[in-house]
């Protein structure tokens, strides 16, 4: 999975600091998401982000083609 939050924030003109302040999500958590340094995402966190950005999960997460073929070959 790849987190595309940074691209979405750029499109909407919203900074990490603003979403952190407005949602209560720590900047460290957002930074880790933006740099794909996380292995899991809490549903509540995902819901907060989607609600704030008025978007769907598919706008934030995508399946990487290499990861998909790796799973199919496992």
- Number of helices (H) and strands (E) in the chain: give both, helices first: 5, 2
> Which of 3-7, 49-53, 70-74 has the largest mean confidence?
49-53
Model-level pTM? 0.80
Partners of residue 59 on adjacent β-strands: none
Q: So what's the pLDDT on residue 69?
A: 46
Q: So what's the pLDDT on residue 64?
A: 81
Q: DSSP of 46-72, one letter per residue?
A: HHHHHHHHT--GGGTEE--HHHHHHHH
60 neighbors 1 (Cβ within 8 angstroms)? no
CATH number at residue 30: 1.10.260.40
pLDDT in tens, 10-51: 999 999 999 999 999 999 999 999 998 988 999 999 999 999
């Amino acid at each position: 999975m790849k987190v595309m939050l940074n691209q979405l924030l750029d499109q909407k003109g919203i900074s990490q600091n603003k979403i952190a302040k407005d949602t209560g999500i720590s900047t460290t958590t957002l930074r880790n998401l933006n740099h794909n340094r996380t292995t899991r995402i809490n549903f509540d966190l995902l819901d907060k982000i989607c609600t704030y950005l008025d978007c769907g999960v598919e706008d934030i997460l995508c399946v990487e083609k290499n990861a998909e073929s790796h799973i199919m070959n496992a």
